[in-house]
Amino acid sequence: MRARISILSALLLLAVVGLSPGQEAPTQDTPKPPEPLFVRVTVYPTVSLSRYDYNNDIDLFEIRVYVELRRGSQEGHAVADARVSALSENLEYQTDHYEKRIILGKDSLPEELEVEIAAKNRPVMRERFPLPSWLVLTDPQPAVFEAGKDLPIHWQFSRFTAPVDILAYDFKTGKEFFRRDHVEETSSIVPAGKVPASTIVRIYIIQSWFYKRFLGGMDYARGSEINIIPWSQVFIRTKAPAQGSSS
């Protein structure tokens, strides 16, 4: 009986005293948080009026989404094996970024967008943000235009207005013949003398400044951001002035 008491006392003493100094129990390593990702999301709400030469009654409304993912910082290696989606559409990896053109119905344009990023060994990242506005060219419409006349350009915003940059160029030669920056009105005119004849003209307008939102938190590397840039375009064919018209 005395032997049992001695053994029990020794066990209790060992439990109370524990390990002596210098014999600390090894601590378990806590898992390191995943390396932050540099994320740049660029969204172009895009309106392309129907081409002069085909589908003349169909305007194209789409969202063009580009997502850049890099490890650790903006200078880090690109992440090529993530799953990136927007509006339930998976983006495709191209060289060093993900991209997708998402076709939309004219009467169902979204006012917000959610981008989901699922990279290996890290929680899924989701960002939902508003689309402040859609920019739509309303004039000229796709058509054959007679050179030698002023060419009016009109546009409108679906919600909030902003200055725009206007550019027109000869689509066959690539030569720019008209440009205006930071136009605060909703119309402009290309003088008759600048409009090239017998060619295809591309006109596009793009918001002069874009909406930007920086992304914060442990998941995002410094400088991560969302950019939204509305724009619109149209193609027209020009023909030579009718006889007797001034150029």
* Residues constituting the chain: 247
Q: For 109-130, how does the pLDDT look when each residue is reduced to its tens digit (9 = 90+)? A: 999 999 999 999 899 999 999 9
Residue of 51, 67, 68, 50 whose CA lies nearest to 59? 50
pLDDT of residue 50: 78
From 87-91, 230-234, 239-243, the region with the lowest mean pLDDT:
239-243
pLDDT at 151 over 60: yes
Q: What band does 238 get if pLDDT is binned at 50, 70 and 90?
A: very high
- The structure's pTM equals 0.81
Query: What are the b/e assignments for 59-77, b being 16+ CB within 10 Å?
Result: bbbbbebbbbbbbeeeeee
**CA diameter of the chain:** 130
Average pLDDT over residues 47-56: 71
Residue 157 burial (CB count, 10 A): 16
Q: 161 burial class (0-12, 13-18, 19+ CB within 10 angstroms)?
A: middle
Query: What is the pLDDT of the chain when averaged over all its residues?
Result: 87
Q: What band does 143 get if pLDDT is binned at 50, 70 and 90?
A: confident
pLDDT of residue 40: 98
Percent with pLDDT over 70 in the chain: 83
pLDDT of residue 34: 81
pLDDT at 9 over 70: no
pLDDT of residue 181: 98
Structure tokens at 188: 């402009």
CA distance 130 to 144: 37
- Contact call for residues 205 and 139 (beta carbons, < 8 A): no
From 133-137, 155-159, 232-236, 242-246, the region with the lowest mean pLDDT:
242-246
Q: So where are the chain's domains?
A: 37-239
CA distance 170 to 53: 16
pLDDT at 29 over 70: no
pLDDT of residue 17: 46
Structure tokens at 142: 């796709």
Instruction: Using the structure block, give the residue that is written with the tokens 């969302």.
Output: 226
pLDDT of residue 22: 54
Q: For 155-213, how does the pLDDT look when each residue is reduced to its tens digit (9 = 90+)? A: 999 988 999 999 999 999 999 999 999 999 999 999 999 999 999 999 999 999 989 99
From 6-15, 81-90, 118-127, 213-222, the region with the lowest mean pLDDT:
6-15
Structure tokens at 208: 């002069």
